Every structure is written in C-alpha cells, then in structure tokens.
Structure 1
Amino acid sequence: MTGCRLSAFSILGVCALFALSGCFGPPAPAPTSGSSTLSATATPVATPSATANPSAPISPSIEPIPPATAAPSPAPTSPAATGETTPAGLPQQVAPLTVYYVAIGDNGTSGPITGCGDSLVATTTAPVRFTDQVGPSIRTLLANKNRAVGLSGLVNVLYQSNLTYLGGELDGSTITIYLSGQFMLSGVCDIPRAKAQLEFTAMAASGATNARVFVNGRPIDDVLSLK
C-alpha cells in the first residue's frame, strides 16, 4: 500500500511538473504573438511610410501650386474681370471705345438730355485691343482725372471720384456693372450727370438698351440719394 501511495504521489508530482511545464510552455509563443502584434502595428507604420512615398511625388506637384496660387494674385484683375463680363469664346478685337461726357447747358442738342439741362455726348478713344468692351470702357471713363475733356468743351463730372470697376453682366437687353469706392461730386446737378455717364458708357460698350449700376453692393440711386 505504501508503494502504491508513493507511486501515486510520484505520479501526482510528475503530473504537476507537466502541468507547470504546460503553463510555461505557451508563454514562449506569447512573445511571438506579441511580436506579431508589433509587426502588425509596424505594418500601419509602414503604410504611412508607403503613403509618404506617394506623397513624395505629390510634394513636387504641390510646390508648383504656391507659384500657381501666387500667379493668380497679380493676374486676377484683368482675367477675372474679363471672365465675369465676357461670354466664353468671345473673339479678341481691336476697336475704339465709346465714352460719354457732358455738354453743360446744351439742353439735349448734342445728345440725350441729362442733369440740369445738359447733354450727354459720345466720344471715342484710339483703337484698343479687347475681348470684353464693357470693362475697358468703364475703366477708361474712371481713369480720366481731368474735368475738362481736352478742348471739346465737354466735362467729366467723375474726375474727382475714387471708383473701381469690379465686373459686369449682360442679361438680355440690360447691362449691370459693379463698382466699388466713393463718389466726389461738385453739386446736385452732378448726380444725374455722373449716373448718366456710367450708364450710357456701359450700354454703348455692351449693345444693351438698359443699364444698372451698383456701387459697394448698393444701387447707384441709393448711393447718390441726398436723403
């Protein structure tokens, strides 16, 4: 019986050893699975690096973008304004521009009556190259900082105003132009004169029969109102 007990204890001891060895056995693979987890974690790290490789080709293409972004900043004025006013595919041409000035006291004899018994008179410039005639015509009018128009006897009531042409659009027979800045006029009679100069110059350039003028986002009548 004693021998049987010893053998039973010895068997239990051997089983315990095997059980212990079974407990410590798997941890050896556990680091392997841990290392595989690290390698799996390394795979995403490798993926960003792989993404970095495509980004290397992208960064060269990004470098041209700053110049491209910088380039539009100097150039937007003429192309952008032309793009707003010009229908796609409008051909370039060379022709004089028509700009309207005022004949004081002419009472409609030389052109449409305006102001306080005055006339609007069309004048033409030297030939100019353009695709959109509205922008160049309005800019020519606003760029004239002389009250007297040469020796013609005509007057430019906008000569003191600080206005900038932003763009325009033609809708059927109506041309709408957008300006920014401020008017500087010499009296009550200059209000209808200034409005007429802008509207008739825009209509002559676009072929429209009606014109609307907005200054700083507001209709010109509101801007020039004395109320």
Structure 2
Amino acid sequence: MTRPRHTVLSVLGLSGLIILTGCFGPPSPSPTSSSPAPPASPAASASPSTTATGTPTPPPTTSAAPTSPAAPPPSSVPASPPPSQEPQPTQEPTPTGLPEQTAPLTIYYVAVGDNGLSGPKIGCGDSLVATTTAPVTFRDQVGPSINALLANKSRDVGLSGLINVLYQSSLTYLGGELNGSTISIWLSGQFMLGGVCDIPRAKAQLEYTAMSASGATSAQVYVNGRPIDEVLSLK
C-alpha cells in the first residue's frame, strides 16, 4: 500500500499558515479608565509641548545672566581720594613776626654827676649813656636787650666810669608790646636799690633800653602788674 506523498508545496503552505496564525493572535486588552496613568518620565517632561494645531512649541529660551567679574580683594592701602578732594600743594609758610637779624644790643647805664653832658639828663644831675654789646641774633630786640640789662650783676660797667644801679635787683622780663610810639614791658620780681637817687636811675635804664630796642619814643614799665612809679614810690 502506497503512502500519500506530500509535495513540497503542501509543506510550505502549511508552515506559512502556522506563522500567520501566530502573528494575528487575539488583541491585547486596552487599559481601563480605572487604571492609573503611568508617571511621566523626565524625558517626556522635557520634550516640547504640542499645541492644538499640532505644531510643537519650542521650549522657552532663557539667556544666561552675564557673569560679573569677581570683586577684587580688599587692599590695606587706602584708595586715593577723588581728584577734586586731593590735597593741593601749599606754599611754604612764611615766618610770622619780625625777621631774624643779627646786631649789637644797646644797653643804657648811668654816668653819675655828668649833668647831661654825655647823654639824656636824669634826676640827681646824672646822665644816661648808651653802650653796645657783641652782635646777637634775635627777632624781637626788646626781650634780649632787657634781659641783657637785668643779667648784668656788676655795679661798674668795665672801666667806662658808668654804673648799673639794677645789679642787686632780682627782676625777670615777662614780655613787651609796641603800641604806636609807646613800648610797654612787663617785669616780675623785686628792686634792690642803694638810695633815693637810684630810683630815677633804675627807671631811666629800663625805659631807655626798651625804647632804643623798639624804636619807640616813650615807654611804660610794669612790675608785678603795677606801674613802675607806684612800685618805686615805696622805696
């Protein structure tokens, strides 16, 4: 008994049917409304959205903020002030008061009994005579001249025959002021005189020495804040 022979075409047709049956199986069930929607993935949220017209909307573009240069570190050196506040160079200040000079000082002493022959006549028939010192550097000549007179503690002025009646007095020069043609000087201390005739002599020595130093024509002398005539009237 002969077996039926299947032709090659019959075998191939059966195989194709099996393959097609596997590809077209029953459809998978669709998701129900109660099923939770899958979470959106980061990629999906980053993707451009679609408008109603179907045209994709490009994501908003943000321009990068300009980066400012880093602030410089603080410096220990103070910043220079604005040009308008910078100190302007100033001229060298000029010295105030009288200019400095070097010259001899004029000091007055007494020629007893000269009766005005050698200089201005003063009480008891005496004369007042001007003498000069070695050159001295000064600005205000009054102070150095009065100090030189008060610093002389000798009665006789060399071999000139002149005398200094202030040699025993303890007086200190405090200051002087020139007001017009009058020079005023202030002293402190005490007079020590040898007699009544020494009163006009001491006063004349102080006044004429101050007038010569200042160029004034009159002088006022104050001792311990009081006029010299008032102080010497008690002697």
Normalised TM-score (structure 2): 0.59
**CA deviation after TM superposition for structure 1 residue 195, in Å:** 0.1
The one-character-per-residue Cα deviations of 1:161-220 (angstroms, maximum 9, x if unpaired) are 000000000000000000000000000000000000000000000000000000000000
1:115 is the counterpart of 2:123 = yes
Is it true that 1:124 corresponds to 2:140 in the alignment?
no
Greater RCO (CA < 8 Å, at least 6 residues apart): 1
Matched, 1:191 2:191: no
Q: Give the 5 Å matches for 1:12-91.
A: 88-91=96-99
Cα separation, 2, equivalents of 1:156 and 1:194: 8
Does 2:150 align with 1:142? yes
Deviation at 1:90, TM superposition (A): 1.3
Whether 1:154 aligns to 2:162 is: yes
Aligned 1:91-102 pairs, distance under 5 A: 91-102=99-110
Tell me how far 1:140 sits from its aligned partner: 0.1
**How many Å separate the matches in 2 of 1:208 and 1:215?**
20
Gaps of 5+ in 2: 1-94
Q: What one-letter code is carried by the residue in structure 1 that aligns with 2:233?
A: S
Residue aligning to 2:64: none
* Structure 1 moving runs of 4+ over 2 Å: none
Larger radius of gyration: 2
1:221 to 226, 229, 233: 229
Per-residue deviation at 1:89? 3.3
> CA offset at residue 226 of structure 1?
3.5
- Name the amino acid aligned to 2:143: G
Aligned position for 1:204: 212
2:52 maps to which residue? Answer: none
Superposed CA offset, 1:130-168 (max 9, x none): 000000000000000000000000000000000000000
CA distance in 1, matches of 2:101, 2:186: 24
The structure whose residues are more often helix, as a share, is: 1
SS, match of residue 194 in structure 2:
coil
Instruction: Give unmatched runs, 5+ long, in structure 1.
Output: 1-86
Percent identity of paired positions between Structure 1 and Structure 2: 82
Show CA shifts across 1:87-123 (max 9, x none).
9331100000000000000000000011200000000
In 2, distance between residues paired with 1:183 and 1:167?
18
Q: Work out the number of aligned pairs and report it.
A: 141
Q: Secondary structure at the match of 1:116?
A: helix
